[in-house]
Every structure is written in C-alpha cells, then in structure tokens.
Amino acid sequence: MTKTMILIPGRTNEQGTSLNKGKFKEEYQIETSMLDINTDEMKRLGLEEGDQVRLSNEIGETIVTCRGKQPDELPDGMLFIPYGPPTTHLMDSETYGSGMPVSKHMEVTVEKIAVK
C-alpha cells in the first residue's frame, strides 16, 4: 500500500550528538535513516516498527526505517526524519537565496518495501 504524506526533516538531539562524532559513524547513519511515523498511521499502512519504506517525490527517492511515534507526538499524515543523507535525495536544490534547500512540508509517497 502507498500513501502520500507530508515529510518534515529537522534536527534531533541524537542526530546532533552523533554528527559531532562524524557523519560516517554508524550512530549518525542509523539516526538519519529513521522515519518517525504515527503508530495509528503505521497500522493503516500495514507497517511495523523497523520495517523499511521507500519515500519518493518528484526529486528522488530514498529508503528508510520506520520508528513509531504516539499520535500526540506526531499527527496523522505527517512524517519526521532527522536531516542527513537520505533527506538530500528528496530535496530540490533551489534555495531562494537562503543557502539552504527548501526542506519543510515536502509531499512524499510512502511505500512499504517487500520483505523476501
């Protein structure tokens, strides 16, 4: 099953701490490839904690791992992911003079990756 949702990349304490240790360290790689998704939404999409999903939009696609969040932490239809290598595959290069690509409120399609 696929669904279009709104992705909001941002910073987390874990991402910031692991960034200080290095972008090539496992801790950073794991944290920046975790997708936070409402647990009710996960049930509707047939997802479980730890499942991998493909996020795609008109810019590109990436594969990330689901991490459930309670509905009071993250509303239905919204996704959160820490800034990192996976998010760069979904961001346009346009900065509108700010020096930072527009990264908020991105529409993405969420698709569970088949387990073999």
Residue 116 pLDDT more than 60? no
Per-residue CA distances from 25 to 17, 20, 22, 57, 95 (Å): 11, 10, 5, 28, 28
The H helix count followed by the E strand count for the chain is 4, 6
CATH number at residue 49: 2.40.40.20
Residue 36 pLDDT more than 70? yes
Bridge partners, 2 (sequence order)? 111
**Looking at residue 27, what is its pLDDT?**
86
Residue range of the domain that includes 52: 2-112
Per-residue CA distances from 72 to 12, 27, 51, 66, 97 (Å): 18, 27, 22, 17, 35
Instruction: Give residue 115's pLDDT band: very low, low, confident or very high (50, 70, 90).
Output: low
Neighbours of 18 (CB within 10 A): 21
Residue 92 pLDDT more than 80? yes
* For residues 21-27, average pLDDT: 80
Burial class (CB in 10 A: 0-12, 13-18, 19+), 46: exposed
Number of domains in the chain: 1
Report the predicted TM-score, pTM, of the whole model to 2 decimal places: 0.86
Token pair 């996976």 in the structure block, residue: 86
pLDDT, tens digit, 9 for 90 and up, residues 43-64: 999 999 999 999 999 999 999 9
* For residues 85-113, average pLDDT: 85
